[in-house]
Chains A and B, each alone.
Chain A
Amino acid sequence: MKDTLTYFLSDSVALKVLLGVIIIGATSGIVGTFSFLRKKTLVGDAIAHSLLPGICLGFLFTGTKDPIGLMFGALISGWISVWVIDYLVSKTKLSEDTAIAFVSTFFFAIGSVILSVISKSQNGNQSGLKDFLFGKAATMTNYDVNVFAVLSVLIIIMVTVFYKPFKMLAFNKEFAHAIGWNTKWIEFLLSTITVLTVAIGIQAVGIVLTSALLIAPSSAARYWTNNLVKMIIIAAFIGMFSGVIGVIISASQENMPTGPWIVFVLFLITLLTLLFSPQKGWFSIQKNQRENKRKISEENVLKIFYQLKESKIDQVSYSVFLEKRMMDTRDLSKTIQNLIHKKWLKKLNSDYSLTENGAVEASRVVRFHRLWELYLTKRMNFKEDHIHGTAETIEHLITPEIEKELLKELNFPLADPHNKEIPYE
């Protein structure tokens, strides 16, 4: 590891490559965030394929592999591809996915026809174009990196200047249109930026893999934050980080492709984020669901104990309980164990009864249930036989604030619609 580090710091070529992927990773992370939020990430894939004819034509006209000329061709064919996709989606009955796949293969086919014309007319001179197709992260030149740097500074400035319109477009296009913004123009700007980003991206990882640079960083960033600025920063950081790790892995062995490793690292980061991120990750959602389920069973059991106590049954055995409410016995005994552990239930011989704290807790649940039933009948005009089911669900969700509101609204009632007493502390 230390060897690789010193290698990168001492070798100016390697340093350039590293700088290149950092620039590319950051830019595509930033721009990808907007594609992601607009649910248009696969348009990025179509753009990547559609750049081929533009790049080939750029090469034919300028006769050199100068990235600026090629980039100009790429920009034009990228624009056309975005426009054709929009046209097909809005003016024909084709769905978006069909339009995207159509445009990407059609343009790619045109590109490869031109490519085969070039390769026949100019022997071997087109080898530089292949770098455009498969990415050439490992062989980036100073000039390339300078062009990338200028372009990405341009892109970042555009995103900063037009941050508000872009944000509006990403979250609510109709609203932006309604308040009189020129959404067509904003969309044009955003797709220009996207095309430029893709054009830079394919030189690092190639046509097929470029969309990963747009998609993966923003997907992962979305699971860390709800704030757009933070999301952009996180996505840029993930893009840079994966670029660097990908370059280091591919440099550690001979003949290792850089682009695929960058994409591999991006995928791993995204997968790990989706599984383990603290708020929206799969595992924390599972944990929350389990906890909610446990809380609901506990509250249900307490409620039954309270109701039995109302009908003068203090000592409750399993069979008495199950007569009142059917419940999976394994679930029941586990919940009762939990409640005993919380000191809300106590065990007397083979029976159970509420403790003082447990009675307070149980009366809270029953109060919520009955208050809600009363609210439904009084304010929402529900029939009395329709209210129990809804109340069963809502009783677990009512917060102290809602309780206060309810009490005020109903003027501290004493009995519920079934004429049962509403318990207060």
Chain B
Amino acid sequence: MSLNDFLTLLTAATIGLSCAILGCFLVLRKVVMVGDAISHSVLPGIAIAYIVSANFNSSLLLIGAAIFGVITTLIIDFFHKKLKLQEDASIGITFTWLFALGVIIITLFTESNTDLDQDCVLFGELSSSFLDKIIMNDYLIGTRSFWMIFPVFLIIVIFVVRGFKGLLLISFNEEYAKSKGIHVSMWNLIFMSLVSITTVMSFESVGAVLVVGLLVIPPATAYILSNDLKKMIFIACGLTLLACILGFYFSILIDVSMSSMVIVTCGMLFFSVLAYEKLKKMLKSKK
């Protein structure tokens, strides 16, 4: 394995693990579509941060992402709880509007030739991430996309480890958590901002649609295998790593985009696990 391959895989794995951990909670709480919505509706935040700072490498991007992640959940709640619109429609209206707003802002304020077009937003490309190396005192210390996602990954790990009990309670029984005095809506907002920051940090390399795949597919697979939250998180992380490595080699094998191949591999792993579980059940019932 060459150095470039290693760097690409490292970036993919860090993004994948961040998504897998967050995704377990999304799947358990049945709010995956809110995560999906957030991954699309951070676009105006990215656009504004990009216009203000004229590049991607900025803490403004993080702030913009967090703000728009929170705004998305607030608008969805406003439609659903205050205006009494059914939940699926509230989610659908909110994220399409914010995405449309993002595209409009981009075309209004930038020339047509920017790095920030719908193409990049939707697809992203992992395998070019090694091009942007950071070199300090002649030592290679990683790529830019790795150093964008790595701090986020650390924050997520610390957040989940420190707040595990609270998150566990909220995931399985929100009402009970409330009665225990846990500030559910605050936890929600923090959690959703983490989701939106993760999405934004992986935008360039994975794209908005495929990042949802990393958020949902490994956790869904793990959920089929286990009901224990801790086990679920570890299984999801393992599956993600496996999918990254397999997807990477597959993408070289048939010479296609790596980020989509990783998701396709995740999906194939999911169906293998599903088939395995069904088979096990069938054998059991025959006995």
What is the interface of chain A, defined by CB distance below 8 A to chain B?
36, 39-42, 44-45, 49, 92-95, 97-98, 100-102, 104-106, 108-110, 112-113, 116-117, 120, 130, 133-134, 206-209, 211-212, 214-216, 218-219, 255-257, 259-261, 263-264, 267, 270, 274-275, 280, 282
Please count the residue pairs between chain A and chain B whose beta carbons lie under 8 angstroms apart in the complex. Answer: 172
CB–CB A97/B92 < 8 A: no
Main secondary structure of the interface of B (DSSP, over half): helix
Whether, in the assembled complex, B71 has its beta carbon less than 8 Å from a beta carbon of chain A, the answer is no
B79, B217, B261: which contacts A105 (Cβ < 8 A)? B217
4 further A-B contacts with Cβ under 8 Å, apart from A98-B32, A108-B260, A257-B107, are A41-B92, A98-B27, A113-B264, A216-B93
Q: A259 to chain B: which residues have CB within 8 Å?
A: 100, 103
A63 to B104, CA, bound (A): 33
* Residues in chain B near residue A209, CB distance under 8 A: 96, 99-100
B204 proximal to A (CB < 8 A):
no
Contact B33 A106 (CB under 8 A): no
Known A219-B93, A264-B100: A95·B30 in contact at CB below 8 Å: yes
> How far, in angstroms, from A105 to B206 measured CA to CA in the complex?
12
**Docked-complex contact A104 and B212, CB < 8 angstroms:** yes
16 contacts between A and B (CB under 8 A): A92-B224, A92-B274, A95-B27, A101-B216, A105-B210, A105-B216, A110-B260, A110-B264, A112-B257, A133-B122, A208-B122, A212-B97, A215-B93, A264-B104, A267-B97, A275-B83
Chain B: number of interface residues, binned into ranges: 35 or more
Q: Is the CB of A206 within 8 A of B101?
A: no
Nearest CB in chain A: distance from B276 CB, A: 13
In the assembled complex, the CB of B97 is this many whole angstroms from the nearest CB of chain A, namely 4
Asked if B209 contacts A49 (CB within 8 A), the reply is yes
Question: Quick check: B31 and A97 within 8 Å, CB to CB?
Answer: yes
Interface string of B89-126 (1 = CB under 8 A from A): 10111001101110110010000100000110011000
| Max count, chain A CB within 10 A of own CB: residue among B88, B213, B254, B256 | B88
Query: Contact: B263 with A109, CB < 8 Å?
Result: yes
Is A274 within 8 A of B79, CB to CB? yes
A106/B264 in contact, CB under 8 A: yes
Contact at A112–B260, with CB atoms within 8 Å? yes
Do A215 and B89 form a contact, CB below 8 Å, given A109-B210, A113-B260? yes
- Asked if residues B96 and A267 are in contact (CB atoms below 8 Å), the reply is yes
* A260-B220 Cα distance, complex, nearest whole Å: 32
User: B223 at the A/B interface (Cβ < 8 Å)?
Assistant: yes
Are A105 and B223 in touch, CB under 8 angstroms? Answer: no
Please give, as numbers and ranges, the residues of chain B lying within 8 Å of A94 by CB-CB distance: 27, 220, 223-224
Determine the distance from Cα of A95 to Cα of B34 in the docked complex, in whole angstroms: 14
> Which residues on B sit within 8 Å (CB–CB) of A102?
213, 216-217, 220, 267, 270
